[in-house]
Structure 1
């Protein structure tokens, strides 16, 4: 059964946020290098800790998008 328009949008949104998270991680990793080169190693380490959590969150979003695709998660109108 094809997805409804709201569910198609939900799936697209989840995948878009996952991709944005991935590229943000790449950009922030580059920033950690520059911070470290500037002598701000402690700040670079703290930023790396944050970035390290991104792949798990990205995987969750992709999994939610897959659940929308197969109909386990649906968007309904609020009452």
Structure 2
């Protein structure tokens, strides 16, 4: 794996982890909203959580493609 691909993979893994952590935190907030009888805002957060989880899954798939060598980042000098 090239240095550029290694950096890209690491950056994407970090973004995926950030999305996953954010979704976990949003679940906690949504639970508190439900306990406070604020169902509409809790539902809005659940929609955001679902979106974050989909995007985290997409990033994880891209990382897998990079690891397998099927996706490579072009060197900026060759663009």
TM bucket by the smaller chain?
0.7 to 0.9
* 21, 24, 27: which one aligns with 2:19: 21
2: CA distance between counterparts of 1:45 and 1:59? 21
Q: Alpha-carbon deviation of 1:29?
A: 0.4
What is the 5 A alignment of 1:30-49? 30-49=28-47
1:52-71 map, 5 Å? 52-71=50-69
CA RMSD of aligned residues (A): 1.4
Give the match for residue 4 of structure 2: 6
Q: Give 1:53 shift.
A: 2.2
SS class of match (2:70): coil
Q: Structure 2 stretches of 5 or more lacking a match?
A: none
Comparing 32-41 and 67-76, the one that deviates more? 32-41
Q: SS of 2:61's equivalent?
A: helix
Aligned residues: 77
In the TM superposition, what is the alpha-carbon distance from 1:52 to its structure 2 partner?
1.6
Question: What is the distance in 2 between the residues matched to 1:49 and 1:23?
Answer: 16
